[in-house]
Homo-oligomer: A and B are copies of this chain.
Amino acid sequence: MSDHPLKTLIEAADRSISAKDFDGLMRFYTDDATLVMKPDMYARGKDQIRRAFEAISAHFDGQLKVRQGKIEVIEGGDTALVVMETWLDTAGEDGSATSTVRRATYVFRRESSGNWLCAVDNSYGTALLDS
């Protein structure tokens, strides 16, 4: 399902994160979306999610870049489960580049307009169960 429209949408959202365009990023979320910041720490609604991304960006000194790896999209009932490799490229204190990969899970909801919006953003995937 590499040509699913959600793949393109998530690529655009990842570009917004990499560009620190958090206003633009918010248009990908439902008003009442939830972002898993870390296990047992959730941001709920666009205000909290925006602040969470600003804090994450600041933590990485604005050097965080996000990109996709493998992706599977499973639609059902006007929702979609996305299972995806999310690559995080960051710079260490000495300027060295570091890449880490997470197996993320996202829930998208199809609005009556036909547009997809992210309702649950859990970049930790099933690793949440390790906590």
Chain A residues at the B interface, C-beta cutoff of 8 Å: 30-34, 36, 42, 44, 69-70, 72, 74-81, 83-85, 103-105, 107, 109, 117, 119-122, 125-126, 128-129
Query: Is there contact, CB below 8 Å, between B122 and A74?
Result: yes
Number of identical monomers bound together in the oligomeric complex: 2
Known A81-B120, A120-B74; contact A126-B107, beta-carbon cutoff 8 A: no
Instruction: Looking at the assembled complex, report how far the CB atom of A8 sits from the nearest CB atom of chain B, in whole angstroms.
Output: 19
In the assembly, what is the distance between CA of A30 and CA of B80, in Å? 13
Which residues does chain B contribute within 8 Å of A83, judged by CB atoms? 105, 122, 125-126, 128-129
In the assembly, what is the distance between CA of A128 and CA of B85, in Å? 11
Instruction: Looking at the assembled complex, report how far the CB atom of A17 sits from the nearest CB atom of chain B, in whole angstroms.
Output: 18
- Among A34, A42, A84, A121, find the residue whose CB has the most chain B CB atoms closer than 10 A: A34
In the assembly, what is the distance between CA of A36 and CA of B36, in Å? 24
Query: Is there contact, CB below 8 Å, between A81 and B103?
Result: no
Which residues does chain B contribute within 8 Å of A70, judged by CB atoms? 129
Instruction: Looking at the assembled complex, report how far the CB atom of A82 sits from the nearest CB atom of chain B, in whole angstroms.
Output: 10
